[in-house]
């Protein structure tokens, strides 16, 4: 039996890349005899077994393997170790594989070498082979440290921005992203800077400014996500019918961060919530897109899409995620979103509280100029260079940006606040205006904008943001849960699926069908059990969903002073009807008028 030592000697003076470039006939993947182990001429691994007759050969596997690289992947929450392993059997060399260190000792990774890699039977052979690979590799392993996310990092001395290509603002930084996330690849230094910035600005001219200015602001807000305190607490939502270029516009925004010339690997509503949340954690300080929230004829499919939209909008706006546990039940941390999310869809999420967390950009057919859209698509390779320039400028002014943001944010929020408006809407405007202020400073620094141009641009943007906020306020008012509750009662009374009887005999009933309550001159007395049964049945028949629980609805009605509480602020009151005492939900009759209801009638 010959002993081969070619690979060990080769790697002492050459790199792994040099090894892979060798012709196969020159590759010698044998490992030297060492103590209790040996490797044969045909790359089989065995051990020396001590018997009463002396040492004998005990085969372990028909292949040999070695760890040639250990990669430490830092995703910002934990550091994972991954081994790069090579192997050979006979004259065949196996391709290198990556094995998480936590899975190495189980030896289940052997199947990645294919059916030609065979482990000898026996309860201890996995342990012997694992030990042999580790001991024979330990002095020859190349150690590599890399980051496994995008966005900003600070090493204690300086800030730098990560993408698949490395770090903007710092040399010799390794980044490892998954294949689908590797499209987030920015140049480390901007080329054709002036031309690139002008190409990015041309996005503003491809359609109505009410569309392009908000989406432009969102694009440049994304790299600031984790730098700001508080972080952006909303998602953007491009809303319009099919064929209005929703996805195309999103791809142009994404093209500022890398190579996004197709929808391949974009998040969509067929993905699981966990996978999208995981990407949201890894894709830090970049824009991510959840594409195509469209109507579905299948109720289960529609509910699944709605549930995913609700969960992710709340996750991104609250900057929270579900907790995770290790196998020993210890806390593993959370994959909270660290980038900015944009959704495209033909429908909107139903809950008003969720809609309040979205900045809705509405598109109608004809709003986008197809020729101008094509022109900027032809310049898409310039857009990452504009973003690289902006990121370098942000790095240079990092301290001032972070110091000035809290006070400036409060000032902008106050300026955007309108009476009766949901409190989240002026915050959205404040984030976007703060971003465009920074963008204008960057453009003036690069001699693209003058002071006058910046002021005019910001004034136009504020007018547009105020208009969008006002429209969103009206939309939220229409989706108010108390209005929805009363509208359902109104519909049931009008179509005869429910009725209200008069408290006094001889007066007519309102509606038809099953009894849900009684009325007198001033009030309506709803019977809780029958009311709720009929309300949910009606929603099912209509193919809709009433999203609030009974007590939540009553609480909202009390807050709106529609429901009259009982003693001790109870949701119901005791009422005598036909000489019997009933517990009822008491509502001002002004809100129910023979099949016409309105929250504003009183």
Predicted confidence at residue 333, as pLDDT, reads 65
Distance CA(382)–CA(377), nearest Å, equals 10
Beta bridge partners of 80: 73
Question: Which range among 194-208, 385-399, 478-492 shows the weakest confidence by mean pLDDT?
Answer: 478-492
Query: Distance between CA atoms of 359 and 349, rounded to whole angstroms?
Result: 12
d(CA 585, CA 208) in angstroms, rounded, equals 49
Distance of CA 343 to the CA centre of its chain: 10
Q: What are the domain boundaries of the chain? A: 6-147, 193-478, 481-591
Distance of CA 440 to the CA centre of its chain: 28
Distance between CA 190 and CA 456 in Å, rounded? Answer: 27
Instruction: Output the CA torsion sign for 462, 463, 468, 470.
Output: positive
Q: What is the pLDDT of residues 241-272, one digit of tens each?
A: 999 999 999 999 999 999 998 888 788 888 88
pLDDT value, residue 326: 58
* Torsions phi, psi for 419 (to 5 deg): -60, 135
CA atoms within 13 A of residue 313's CA, in its CB half-sphere: 25
Of 20-29, 316-325, 337-346, the one with minimum mean pLDDT is 20-29
Burial state string for 349-363 with b = 16 or more CB within 10 A and e = fewer than 16: bbbbbbbbbbbbbbb
Separation between Cα atoms, residue 343 and residue 33, nearest integer Å: 59
When pLDDT is averaged across residues 37-41 and rounded to a whole number, the result is 90
Q: Rank 304-313, 402-411, 563-572, 592-601 by mean pLDDT and report only the highest.
A: 402-411
CA distance 135 to 35: 10
**What was the pLDDT predicted at 329?**
53
CA angle in degrees (0–180, nearest 5) for 246-247-249 = 70
Residue 296 has pLDDT above 80, yes or no: no
**Looking at residue 477, what is its pLDDT?**
77
Segment 120-155, tens digit of pLDDT: 998 899 999 999 999 989 888 999 999 999 999 998
Spell out the alpha helix ranges (H) of 138-272: 193-201, 209-221, 246-254
pTM: 0.80
Res 483 pLDDT > 70: yes
User: Among 8, 14, 3, which residue's Cα sits nearest to residue 46?
Assistant: 3
HSE at residue 429, side-chain half, CA atoms within 13 A, is: 29
Across 294-308, 311-325, 380-394, which has the greatest mean pLDDT?
380-394
Q: 599 pLDDT exceeds 60?
A: no
Cα separation of 367 and 241, whole Å?
Answer: 12
Average of per-residue pLDDT across 356-374: 95
């Amino acid at each position: 039996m010959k002993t081969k030592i070619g690979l060990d000697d080769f790697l002492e003076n050459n790199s792994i890349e040099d090894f892979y470039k060798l012709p196969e006939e020159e590759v010698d993947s044998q490992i030297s005899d060492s103590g209790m182990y040996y490797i044969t001429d045909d790359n089989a691994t065995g051990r020396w077994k001590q018997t009463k007759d002396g040492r004998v050969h005990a085969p372990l596997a028909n292949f040999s393997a070695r760890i040639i690289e250990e990669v430490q992947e830092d995703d910002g929450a934990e550091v994972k170790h991954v081994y790069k392993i090579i192997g050979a059997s006979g004259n065949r060399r196996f391709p290198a594989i990556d094995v998480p260190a936590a899975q190495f000792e189980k030896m289940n990774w052997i199947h990645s070498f294919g059916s030609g890699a065979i482990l000898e039977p026996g309860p201890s052979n996995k342990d012997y082979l694992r030990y042999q690979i580790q001991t024979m590799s330990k002095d020859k392993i190349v150690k590599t440290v890399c980051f496994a996310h995008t966005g900003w990092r600070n090493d204690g001395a300086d800030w730098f921005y990560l993408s698949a290509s490395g770090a903007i603002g710092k040399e010799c930084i390794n980044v490892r992203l998954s294949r689908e996330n590797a499209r987030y690849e920015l140049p480390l230094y901007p080329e054709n800077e002036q031309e690139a910035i002008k190409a990015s600005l041309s996005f503003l001219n491809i359609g109505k400014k009410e569309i392009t200015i908000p989406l432009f602001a969102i694009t440049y807000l994304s790299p600031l996500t984790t730098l700001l305190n508080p972080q952006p607490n909303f998602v953007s939502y491009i809303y319009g019918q099919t064929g209005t270029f929703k996805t195309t516009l999103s791809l142009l925004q994404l093209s500022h961060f890398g190579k996004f010339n197709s929808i391949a690997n974009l998040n969509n509503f067929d993905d699981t919530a966990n996978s999208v949340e995981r990407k949201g954690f890894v894709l830090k300080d970049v824009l991510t897109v959840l594409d195509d929230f469209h109507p579905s004829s299948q109720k289960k499919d529609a509910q699944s899409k709605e549930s995913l939209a609700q969960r992710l909008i709340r996750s991104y706006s609250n900057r929270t995620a579900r907790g995770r546990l290790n196998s020993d039940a210890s806390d593993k941390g959370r994959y909270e979103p660290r980038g900015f999310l944009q959704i495209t869809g033909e429908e909107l999420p139903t809950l008003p509280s969720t809609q309040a967390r979205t900045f809705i950009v509405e598109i109608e057919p004809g709003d986008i100029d197809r020729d101008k859209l094509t022109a900027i698509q032809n310049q898409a390779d310039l857009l990452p260079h504009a973003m690289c320039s902006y990121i370098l400028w942000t790095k240079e002014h990092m301290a001032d940006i972070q110091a000035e943001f809290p006070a400036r944010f409060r000032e902008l929020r106050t300026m955007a606040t309108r009476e009766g408006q949901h409190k989240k809407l002026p915050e959205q405007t404040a984030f976007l205006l703060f971003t465009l202020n920074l963008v204008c400073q960057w453009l003036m620094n690069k001699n693209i904008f003058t002071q006058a141009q910046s002021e005019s641009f910001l004034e136009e943007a504020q007018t547009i943001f105020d208009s969008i906020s006002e429209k969103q306020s009206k939309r939220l008012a229409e989706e108010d849960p108390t209005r929805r509750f009363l509208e359902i009662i109104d519909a049931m009374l009008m179509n005869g699926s429910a009725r209200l009887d008069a408290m006094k005999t001889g007066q007519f009933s309102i509606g038809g069908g099953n009894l849900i309550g009684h009325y007198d001159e001033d009030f309506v007395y709803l019977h809780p059990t029958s009311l709720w049964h009929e309300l949910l049945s009606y929603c099912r028949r209509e193919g809709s969903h009433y999203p609030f629980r009974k007590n939540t609805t009553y609480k909202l009605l009390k807050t709106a002073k529609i429901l009259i509480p009982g003693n001790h602020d109870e949701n119901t009151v005791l009422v005598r009807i036909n000489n019997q005492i009933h517990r009822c939900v008491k509502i001002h009759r002004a809100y129910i008028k023979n099949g016409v209801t309105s929250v504003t009638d009183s």
